[in-house]
Amino acid sequence: MKLKSIIFSLALLGCIAATGCADKSRRTEIEQRKAALKEKQDSTLAASQAELAWVDSALQAATAQHERLLEQLHTGNHSQERLQRLGQELTLARLHRDSLQVRFDVLCGVIKYIHRKQGQQP
């Protein structure tokens, strides 16, 4: 009976010791993951901000091009062929401008999301 009690006590101590080590290992793993997440967020934020700067300048140029074509279309007398070509150019310029606008909006959303997530972290 005493031997069973000793064996049980040793087994219980072994479990407690193993659990304590697992908690430390688990805490270390959690801290490593938090650090990796912060690093990933920082790098994604920097890349998104750099891309946003490029998209913003491209969007401004595309908007200006679209406005120029629209002005050309509304001013002056143009031949039917010239009107058709201007209409096609205007459509392509509008598509390009709109796609850049969507990219701009998505990048702004990504940046806002990362800022919000970083604000929630302790």
CATH code for the domain of 77: 1.10.287
In the chain, the N- to C-terminal Cα span, in Å, equals 52
Please report the pLDDT score of residue 88 as a whole number: 95
Domain count, the chain: 1
Domain that holds residue 114: 2-120
pTM of the predicted protein model: 0.70
Q: Residue 120 has what pLDDT?
A: 72
- State the pLDDT at residue 84: 92
Q: Whose structure tokens read 């006590």?
A: 9
Q: What is the pLDDT of residue 96?
A: 97
Where the chain has pLDDT below 70, the residues are: 1-22, 121-122
CA–CA dist 74, 81 (Å, integer): 15
- The amino acid that residue 108 corresponds to is C
- Tell me what pLDDT residue 75 has: 87
> What is the token pair recorded at 51?
């891309």
Spatial neighbors of 51 by CB under 8 A, at least 6 apart, are 107
